[in-house]
């Protein structure tokens, strides 16, 4: 059974085809890497999966249901969570409130419950607070709960984004360059964290430039170049694939 299935996904910006008929599957309980040179279209694929961009063509199935071009919040509530390549936290709000944003889709209170603080609303709010603290503890940020997001170090901001994503209770989390801007120690923590997510039964799809990280954590790798998929397979195969080596070294075709 596949958790996520992308087929013939295509997206152009003006004359530029950023994603060109890309297909790949993500099996449940695996860690999958999406790699490729800068501008290959990786982030665009993520934006298409999460409904931030509308696909020109193609199909995206999640748990066997089409989610292509659904509004983002619906995709999230179906169980896909994401982080952004350029950190997009609510910078002027506390770490806790950032994570509470992730809890939103798990809650129900509407405007009346919120105005009158009904017993149900209070119970739900208490639960959400605990869930949020739990997510912060999971990434190791529980002691930073009441700090403003903007006062956290770059590495911690990345972790906070992951905590916010986890608070939506996803079955698939997609991480766009999660190690970007992290030091070596933080990158190690991230690797451990990805392992912990997997243990929890969360499937991980990630974009990453740090090849050693990708090779270490991913069971399957999809390689994009100029918007098209050029290779797919386990790390050992990808490492030795001549097309991938060519793409990364920028060797000329007629070489």
Partner 1 sequence: MIQYKTIALIITTGILAVLPQFLNPYWVDVLNNIGIYAILGLSLNIIVGHTGLFNLGHASFFAVGAYTAAILNTQYEIPVLWLIPVCGLSAGLFALIVARPIIHLRGDYLCIVTIGVNEIVRIALINNVFGLTGGSNGIFGIDRPNVFGMTLRTPMEFYYLILAFGAVTIFLFRQLEYSRFGRALNYLREDETAAQGSGINTAHYKLAAFVVGAVWAGMVGNIYAAKMTIISPESFTFWESVIIFVIVILGGSGSIPGVILGAVLVVGLPELFRDLANARMLVFGAAMVGMMIFRTQGLLPQRPRKYTLPQGRRNGEGGE
Summarize as ranges the residues that interact with partner 1 (CB under 8 A). Answer: 50, 52, 71-73, 76-77, 81-82, 84, 88-94, 96-97, 100-102, 104-105, 107, 109-111, 113-117, 121, 124-126, 128-130, 133, 137, 142-148, 151, 164-165, 168
Closest CB to partner 1 among 135 and 247? 135
Q: Minimum distance from CB of 25 to ligand ADP (Å)? A: 20
Question: Of 87 and 230, which CB lies nearer to partner 1 in the complex structure?
Answer: 87
| 180 is a site residue for ligand ADP (CB under 6 A) | no
Q: Which residue, 89 or 100, has its beta carbon nearer to Mg ion?
A: 89
Determine contact, residues 6/58, Cβ cutoff 8 Å: yes
Q: Using CB distances below 5 to 8 A depending on partner kind, what does residue 249 bind out of Mg ion, partner 1, ligand ADP, none?
A: none
- Choose from ligand ADP, Mg ion, partner 1, none: what does 36 bind? Cβ within 5-8 Å by kind: ligand ADP
**φ, ψ of residue 71 in degrees (nearest 5):** -65, 145
3-class secondary structure, 26: strand
Least Å distance, CB 43 to Mg ion, is 3
Name which of 206, 204, 176, 230 is nearest 20 in CA terms: 230
Say whether residue 39 binds ligand ADP (CB under 6 A): yes
Distances (CA, A) of 249 to 95, 180, 223, 255: 40, 21, 14, 12
Nearest to 81 by CA among 172, 189, 8: 172
Q: Long-range contacts of range 145-148, CB-CB < 8 Å, 24 or more positions apart?
A: 145/94, 145/95, 145/96, 146/94, 146/95, 146/96, 147/94, 147/95, 148/91, 148/92, 148/93, 148/94, 148/95
Buried b vs exposed e over 23-50: b needs ≥16 C-beta within 10 Å? ebbbeeeebbbbbbeeebbbbbbbbbbb
Q: How far is the CB of 82 from Mg ion (least distance, A)?
A: 12
Select from 42-50, 131-139, 150-158, 160-168 the region that touches ligand ADP (CB under 6 A): 42-50
Provide, rounded to whole angstroms, the least separation between the CB of residue 86 and Mg ion. 9
How many whole angstroms separate alpha carbon 75 and alpha carbon 53?
A: 13
List the interface residues with ligand ADP, window 44-73 (CB under 6 A): 44
Q: Which of residues 3-32 bind ligand ADP (CB under 6 A)?
A: 13, 16, 18
* Residues forming the site for ligand ADP (CB under 6 A): 13, 16, 18, 36, 38-44
């Amino acid at each position: 059974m596949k958790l996520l299935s992308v087929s013939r996904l295509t997206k152009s910006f003006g004359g530029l085809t950023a994603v060109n008929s890309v297909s790949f599957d993500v099996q449940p309980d695996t860690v999958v890497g999406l790699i490729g040179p800068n501008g290959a279209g990786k982030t665009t694929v993520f934006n298409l999966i999460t409904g931030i961009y509308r696909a020109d063509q193609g199909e995206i199935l999640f748990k066997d249901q089409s989610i292509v071009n659904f509004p983002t919040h619906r995709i999230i509530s179906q169980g896909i969570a994401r982080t952004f390549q350029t950190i997009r936290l609510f910078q002027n709000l506390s770490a806790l409130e950032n994570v509470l944003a992730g809890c939103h889709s798990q809650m129900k209170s509407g405007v009346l419950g919120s105005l009158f603080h009904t017993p149900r609303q209070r119970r739900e709010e208490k639960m959400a607070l605990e869930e949020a603290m739990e997510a912060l503890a999971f990434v190791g940020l529980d002691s930073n709960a009441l700090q403003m997001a903007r006062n956290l170090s770059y590495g911690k901001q990345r972790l906070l984004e992951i905590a916010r994503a986890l608070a939506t209770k996803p079955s698939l989390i997609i991480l766009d360059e999660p190690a970007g801007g992290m030091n070596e120690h933080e990158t190690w923590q991230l690797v451990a964290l990805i392992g912990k997510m997997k243990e929890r039964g969360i499937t991980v799809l990630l974009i990453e430039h740090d090849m050693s990280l990708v090779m270490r954590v991913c069971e399957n790798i999809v390689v994009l170049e100029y918007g098209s998929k050029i290779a797919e397979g386990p790390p050992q195969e990808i490492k030795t694939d001549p097309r991938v080596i060519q793409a990364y070294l920028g060797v000329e075709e007629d070489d």
